[in-house]
Structure 1
Amino acid sequence: MRVFVCLLGAVAACLAMPNVYEMEMAEVEGAINRLQTKEELVHFLTENTSRGPVRLTSFSFKDCGGAGALVNINSLSITPDPVVFPGPLNVATDFKINSPLGQPLKGDLYIAKKVLGKYIKLPCIDNFGSCSYADLCVLLEQVQCPDPIVRIGIDCTCPLKANSYSLPKTEFDVDVSFIPAGDYMARGNITYMGKEGACLELSITLT
């Protein structure tokens, strides 16, 4: 009899687990939808995580552009292994712009963090998170183009010239006080004149 009762309890627990998971996921998604400021979003990401330096322990990229994409990303590497934040980050890449990219250059960014085993989309708040940009060329006009980028022939102004570009290993200082640990996925899409400009997918793990 006791064995039978234990079996019933085990079956009941197994049946209840999916419902508990769904309830927890609903709570997480509801909390994200209620976020109003960038500070609240950062607090949500960093809640229940230890503070201090984090390491980039896993990184992969994919050129998700189709056969007719205006930009082909051939390689992208990040070193050292592991990267420690805050700290220097070395980036090397090789890509080709097949056709000039002018205005308007529309951009869409999707960023998600894994929560309870599922990737949850981070909302766009004050241009932080999963955002859409009507014209990236306007944003480029507001930044100072890094010298390494200028040296390979890109001055951060539109139109971006058609050419093959190669950025050798270049160090960038990642000036952030804290990046929360976790698994992240990001996808950036660029469209120009209704055509697919570029698509890049990144998967990273911070520990």
Structure 2
Amino acid sequence: MKSLLLLMIVMTGAQSEQERRRLKNAKILDFVWKNCGGPDDPAVMKTLDLSPDPISIPGDLSASASASTSVELVAPLPLNVTIEKEVAGFWVKIPCVEDLGSCHYPDACDLLNQLVPPGQDCPEPLHSYGLPCRCPFKAGSYSLPQSDFYLPNMDLPYWLTNGNYRLQGALGSQDKELACLKVALSIHSD
């Protein structure tokens, strides 16, 4: 769940109209993830299953996930995101441009509030399953049963289409790492 949220946050960053490219008839291939934190990180992703493979945009996505945290996750939650793109066989770090790319975000809770403003119900199916979509996240286990989503066309910067990508997100608090997640995927669009 957290890796999906992280991917959504990265894909919805601010950008000018001329730098956007409508991602239509795109495929996300070879999606893999893993925890990258230390053995004592309090927050971990336990499972994340996505289908079909490849994932079509626009199109239907089926997802299930489970995660746990042994501590309450409260603001501020600094988030460091690193995105790399494979170019000619080398991995190149994408710089932070207009809050998109390899960026430091002072508070992931603020990002969540931008996606789902306070006072609004969490989107489905999170609402139906009683799953939170904004801070604080109480200590405990979270589980999203197999659920269906529709992925609409997306606007992405021209430099973030077609290619192989690696993304790492590290969540912290008071100079301590709370969670770390790595995602690798390929994007191919018309």
TM-score range relative to shorter protein: 0.7 to 0.9
- After TM superposition, the runs of 4+ consecutive aligned structure 1 residues lying more than 3 A away are 37-43, 150-154
Q: Distance in 1 between matches of 2:173 and 2:162?
A: 35
Partner amino acid, structure 1, of 2:133: C
Q: Matches of 2:16 and 2:146 in 1, distance apart?
A: 32
Candidates 64, 70, 84, aligned match of 2:36: 64
**Identity across the alignment (%):** 33
Is 1:174 aligned with 2:155?
no
Aligned to 2:109: 137
**8 Å contact from structure 1 (residues 90, 172) kept in 2:** yes
CA distance in 2, matches of 1:80, 1:60: 13
Two-structure CA RMSD over aligned residues (Å): 2.4
Report the structure, 1 or 2, having the larger strand content: 2
Shift of 1:139: 2.2
Provide the secondary structure at the position in 2 that maps to 1:186. strand
Q: 1:57 to 1:156 in 2, by over 3 A?
A: closer
Deviation at 1:67, TM superposition (A): 1.2
Please report the TM-score for the alignment, with normalisation by the length of structure 2.
0.76
Q: Which region of structure 1 is more displaced relative to structure 2, 163-172 or 59-68?
A: 163-172
| Aligned: 1:196 with 2:177 | yes
Task: Write out per-residue CA displacement over residues 136-163 of structure 1, whole angstroms, 9 at most, x where no aligned residue.
Answer: 1122223323232234433333221011
- Alignment CA distance shift 1:65-1:136 (3 Å): same
Give the 3-state SS of the residue equivalent to 2:114 in structure 1. Answer: coil
Residue number in structure 2 paired with 1:163 = 140
Q: Is the 8 A contact 2:29 2:54 kept in 1?
A: yes
Q: Which amino acid aligns with 1:116?
A: A
- Matched residues in 1 for 2:164 and 2:132: separation? 33
How far does the alpha carbon of each residue in 1:11-51 deviate from its partner, in whole angstroms, 9 at most, with x for none? Answer: xxxxxxxxxxxxxxxxxxxxxxxxxx6567657xx9xxxx8
**Mean CA deviation greater in 188-197 or 172-181:** 172-181
Gaps of 5+ in 1: 1-36
CA 1:206 to 1:162, structure 2 compared with 1: closer, same or farther past 3 Å?
Answer: same
Q: Deviation of residue 178 (structure 1)?
A: 6.3
For residue 205 of structure 1, what is the aligned residue in structure 2? 186
Q: RCO higher in 1 or 2 (8 Å CA, sep ≥ 6)?
A: 2
Please report how far the alpha carbon of residue 100 of structure 1 lies from its aligned counterpart in structure 2 after TM superposition.
0.3
Taking structure 1 as the reference length, what is the TM-score of the superposition?
0.70
Name the amino acid aligned to 2:168.
R
Q: Size of the alignment, in residue pairs?
A: 165
**SS across alignment from 1:199:** strand
> Highest Rg: 1 or 2?
1
Aligned equivalents of 1:177 and 1:157: distance in 2? 23
| 1:78 partnered with 2:50 | yes
1:113 aligns with one of 85, 96, 114: 85
Is the aligned partner of 1:98 residue 2:75? no
> What is residue 183 of structure 1 aligned with on the other side?
164
